[in-house]
Amino acid sequence: MTINRRHFLGTSAAAAAALAAPMVKADGHGKPRVVVVGGGAGGATAARYIAKDSKGEIDVTLIEPSRMYYTCFFSNLYLGGFKEIEDIGHSYGTLASGGVNVVHDWAIGVDRDAKTVTLAGGATVAYDKLILSPGIDFVEGAVEGWDLSAQNAMPHAYKAGSQSELLKAQLMAMPEGGTFAMVAPPNPYRCPPGPYERVSMVAHFLKNNNPTAKIIVADPKPKFSKMALFQEGWANNYEGMIDWIGSDFGGDNVSVDANAMTVTIDGEVTNVDVCNVIPAMKAGRIAELAGVTDGNWAPVNAIDMSTKADPDVYVLGDSSQQGDMPKSGFSANSQAKVCANAVRGALTGSRVFPAKFANTCWSLIDTNNGVKVGATYEATDEKIAKVDGFISATGESADVRKATYEESEGWYTGITTDMFG
């Protein structure tokens, strides 16, 4: 057949129209259905944006077992005495009133062929697009002597809420001159500066309430995020209190005994009063059950956060293996907006904008002493790739550090509003 200009333009227009057309579903359901599992920075944001921007054209269901969500980011400030637990808790009422069907239950299975999610209560929920944002789970056996049965004696507090309250209570009950130990996690993990902000906040609390107490950090890594900034802050504010033991000095050879309350670092046994064990991490369990992980994390396409295993399943935030972005609340929120735009476009034919991502991680070292690190990113065929970045400098003035802390407070208010409405 001869293809002339008119025929070419006509077929091209038809192809473009087909690509822009909304999904037609075989079951005859009236609206496309999006199911989001996990109501944190990624899931809540995605659900809210799809519901808001589709203006009722898409049914959006958010599955989240907790009725109150406590942000892992800023939970360290609760340990340090800068926040109350209520300050980091958020409900789903505004999301529900904004068009999201909020279901408080556990997702325990995904049938990708049938396109259904099974809930612990026995119900199944059908989807056309599935977004998984379940956060992190822990790698079994990552720290010798510790598993989830020991989390009440040696809390991880890396899922905020009751674990945060437990660790705070243990901190408050420490004997005078006692020892607080942390077992830090290997890369990659949620919130790279998080353990070291926690050390700072624990030190701040102890300096004001138990000044002869000591802090030991056993770290399997030779270096960590914002290392120079934290170590400068520790030397200036908590001199002699913190002993950081990296992998060069045996920090990667650690075991614990929750019954005896001991930590063994490179063969040396230390009795401790509080032990915060932060194990190695992996994607939240539902991602593994859905069959979209490599055993630890879920590889995704940078352009829309869809999984390599299934174009109708997306993974956001901590659980995703996406490239250069750190696992943080800001990252998850940024990825959720890209994903929401892509999902809405696929289901309704609306415009899809080029994927752009950003992240900033703030940390508090002492009162009004905030530092930050961040970057912008773009989608490539291989990954989410870093474009440029920034980090606070050592030796900054008190005014700059105070402004950085105040900036973080404004960001917290903004992102939680963006997540929950």
> Do 43 and 77 reside in the same domain of the chain?
yes
- Average pLDDT for 316-344: 98
Q: What is the CA radius of gyration of the chain?
A: 23
Look at residue 383 and tell me whether its pLDDT is greater than 60: yes
pLDDT computed for residue 29 by the predictor? 63
- Average pLDDT for 335-352: 98
Per-residue confidence band for 30, with pLDDT thresholds at 50, 70 and 90: confident
Residue 14 lies in a domain: no
pLDDT computed for residue 26 by the predictor? 36
> Do 246 and 297 reside in the same domain of the chain?
no
pLDDT computed for residue 28 by the predictor? 53
pLDDT tens per residue, range 239-252: 999 999 999 999 99
Query: Please, is 211 exposed, middle or buried when counting C-beta atoms within 10 Å of its C-beta (0-12, 13-18, 19+)?
Result: exposed
Distance CA 193, CA 364 (A): 10
Residue 39 lies in a domain: yes
Look at residue 21 and tell me whether its pLDDT is greater than 80: no
pLDDT tens per residue, range 391-403: 999 999 999 999 9
Mean pLDDT for the chain overall: 94
pLDDT tens per residue, range 315-326: 999 999 999 999
* Number of domains comprising the chain: 2
Distance CA 40, CA 72 (A): 9
Residue 36 lies in a domain: yes
> Do 274 and 154 reside in the same domain of the chain?
yes
pLDDT computed for residue 15 by the predictor? 33
* Bridge partner list, 130: 35, 313
Task: Look up tokens 């057309």; give the residue.
Answer: 21
Sheet strands (E) in 278-383: 281-283, 298-299, 313-315, 320-321, 356-366, 369-379
Least confident of 3-7, 137-141, 162-166, 198-202: 3-7
pLDDT computed for residue 19 by the predictor? 35
Among residues 279, 298, 329, the one where a domain terminates is 279
- Average pLDDT for 372-384: 98
Look at residue 11 and tell me whether its pLDDT is greater than 50: no
> Do 90 and 164 reside in the same domain of the chain?
no
Residue 197 lies in a domain: yes
Per-residue confidence band for 18, with pLDDT thresholds at 50, 70 and 90: very low
**CATH assignment at residue 194:** 3.50.50.60
Q: Give the residue numbers spanning the domain of 256.
A: 148-279
> Do 152 and 266 reside in the same domain of the chain?
yes
Look at residue 140 and tell me whether its pLDDT is greater than 70: yes
Q: What distances in angstroms separate CA 101 from CA 26, 134, 155, 400, one per listed residue?
A: 23, 18, 33, 43
Q: Confirm if 299 and 327 have CB atoms less than 8 A apart.
A: no
Among residues 350, 384, 406, the one where a domain terminates is 350
- Average pLDDT for 279-302: 98
> Do 191 and 153 reside in the same domain of the chain?
yes
**Could you tell me what percent of the chain has a pLDDT over 90?**
93
Q: Which helix (H) or strand (E) holds 323?
A: none
Query: Please, is 229 exposed, middle or buried when counting C-beta atoms within 10 Å of its C-beta (0-12, 13-18, 19+)?
Result: buried
| The pair of three-digit structure tokens given for residue 143, joined into one six-digit string | 């720290």
Alpha-helix residue ranges (DSSP H) falling in 64-211: 75-80, 93-97, 162-172, 194-209
pLDDT computed for residue 20 by the predictor? 39
Strand duo 369-379 + 384-391: pairing: antiparallel
Per-residue confidence band for 313, with pLDDT thresholds at 50, 70 and 90: very high
> Do 232 and 331 reside in the same domain of the chain?
no
- Average pLDDT for 359-378: 98
Look at residue 113 and tell me whether its pLDDT is greater than 60: yes
pLDDT tens per residue, range 215-268: 999 999 999 999 999 999 999 999 999 999 999 999 999 999 999 999 999 999
- Average pLDDT for 354-372: 98
CB atoms within 10 A of CB 2: 4
**Could you tell me what percent of the chain has a pLDDT over 70?**
93
pLDDT computed for residue 1 by the predictor? 32
Find, among 142, 143, 146, 40, the residue nearest to 95 by Cα.
Answer: 40
